[in-house]
Amino acid sequence: MSQPDLLQCVTGSSSSHLVELQNHRLHADIVTDFLALQQGAKRAGIELRIASSFRDFTRQSAIWNAKFKGLRPVYTLEQETVDLSALSDAEKCHAIMLYSALPGASRHHFGTDLDIYDTAAISDSYQLQLSPEEYSTSGPFARLTAWLDDNLEKYGFFRPYREYMGGVAPEPWHISHIAQSANMMQYLSIDTLQQRITESDLCGKKAILSELNSLYERYILNVNSPQ
């Protein structure tokens, strides 16, 4: 894939690198490794499924704007609801980015990052939350978490939000392809991001642009490395 294609992908204007797999869109170059991961999990009695994969700029913007307007809940690390009415626009940005990426900077734009769960651990009527409790030692996906701890990187994936580092909260359900996400990430410059946000209709755009250097360092670059 050429650099212009990557830049279009990061800014949400192209998805030519994506393929359909199991009703989700993934980066074409991660499919083989994902299928191997899925088969490895199956041998351990885990039915690994994708909850979310590629997400374009428009979709991420809808999530962001709904949270900024208070139409969707925003949570603290302790899973308590944040009272956004008491915050400045800059503070709202930080509160939202604990769990939701800034549009244009979401790793889901790449198609290399997936949210996963285990259908063998839940009933058909189960309402998936993608919450820390579900993946804890007492949650339904405890076995999945433990298996991923031991096997994820053998298949070429890692958890970018494995541990809290002062930016994004831990997300044990979020996995990323090591090689391809690094390849995509190198083109996500702050200048590219600034241009895309300037052209957008994001709520709090003035605050985002004012805080962009801080947000970029704290939430976008500040991720766990493969172990």
Note the pLDDT tens digit of each residue in 151-183: 999 999 999 999 999 999 999 999 999 999 999
How many Cα neighbours within 13 Å face the side chain of 31?
A: 13
Mean pLDDT, the chain, integer: 94
Longest dimension (CA), the chain: 50
Of 20, 59, 46, nearest to 151 by C-alpha is: 46
Q: Is the pLDDT of residue 52 over 70?
A: yes
Amino acid occupying residue 195: Q
Q: What is the pTM of this model?
A: 0.93
The predicted pLDDT at position 10 comes to: 55
Reported as a pLDDT band with limits 50, 70 and 90, residue 16 is confident
